[in-house]
Amino acid sequence: MRLIIPAGRRGLVRASLVLAAAAAAAVGFPGCTSTPVELTAAEQPLSAETVALLGKKGMQAGSPIYVRIFKEESELEVWKAREDGRFYHFKTYPICNWSGGLGPKFQQGDKQAPEGFYTITPQQMKPDSQYHVAFNVGYPNAYDRANGRTGQSLMVHGACKSAGCYAMTDALVEEIYALAREAFRGGQPAFQMHAFPFRMTDEKLARFKGHKHYAFWSTLKQGYDAFETSRVPPAVAVCERRYVVNVSMPANARIDPEGRCPHFERPRLEPFVPLAAEQKLATERVTETGPKTRDMAEVAAATAREAEETVADGQGVSVAQGAAGAVPAAMPPAYGLGFNR
């Protein structure tokens, strides 16, 4: 009998077959082998529950991903692309621990978790991490280096321990790692990870007006708003030692992170309008349970005190901290051009 699999379901069927093969290998077959095959944490297949959720949401295991981090809320989101080229929320994961306060990382040893626009490639995956499994977030990127910032080996990893990293529980980082691994195997050359101080709504940003990082956060908000509007991760360039959000350039274009910004194409921003039958899918949020060691109210209160101290001291915002500047009002229909690496 011939089994006919619809094209849109083949990725899920392949993932299911991998699960079945892994299970068979784990128990072994009599007469075939007496040594069970033990998969490493980095090669664990997606769980049956995860595969089922992908199917429910009309996603394929190998489709592109996009990651957002929110420090104050201690949350990491994974979004997956569907056939329409837009990204849909897959799952929100609790961040067990992160170190430092709200604001970007400046130097090696400050134990500050970074904020900004980062690009993750297959080479940044760390299957042999001492903290279960991990991926390097790509700090320092072009923006960080242009502003003289130092540090290295900052990860999203397991073990719930942080000295400048974003630490998950082992079980949750294993699933996130597997989703990234399958996206790379599906053909995505790199994915964007945007690390924000908090959910960048107008109301939340307004709490910290006058803070020394307010201008930098205002620039990050442009990336947040672009994705919220279009459901496509914005392309980000670095020039004049600042981020420029929502730009498009030829693939072979070279940009000097410290030099004058060139002329950027400014494609039209296409708002995301879900089909009537998919309104629920476009708005629903699945959230994993797990520990969060950072108290959201305490983090916000400490940042508010910093804002008050900045105003009281009459401190300004330096260029190195990231003046918002004038930015384009549109974005390309690509997953990201990787100018921020």
Stretch (H or E) spanning 244? strand 242-245
CB 115 within 8 A of CB 166: no
- Out of 89, 165, 213, 239, the active site residue is 165
How many angstroms separate the CA atoms of 118 and 124, rounded? 12
How many angstroms separate the CA atoms of 286 and 231, rounded? 17
* Backbone CA torsion sign across 160, 165, 197, 189: negative
Q: How far is CA 13 from the centre of its chain?
A: 27
List of E strands, 17-160: 65-70, 75-81, 87-94, 97-98, 116-120, 125-126, 134-136, 155-157
Active site residue 165: yes
On the 0-12 / 13-18 / 19+ scale of CB atoms within 10 A, 17 is: exposed
Residues 6+ apart with CB under 8 A from 99: 111, 112, 113, 162, 163, 164, 165
- Out of 89, 157, 194, 211, the active site residue is 157
Active site residue 211: no
Residues 6+ apart with CB under 8 A from 88: 57, 58, 59, 79, 80, 81, 82, 231, 281, 282
* Residue 31 vs residues 28, 34, 35: alpha-carbon distances, Å: 9, 8, 11
**Which residues are catalytically annotated?**
157, 165
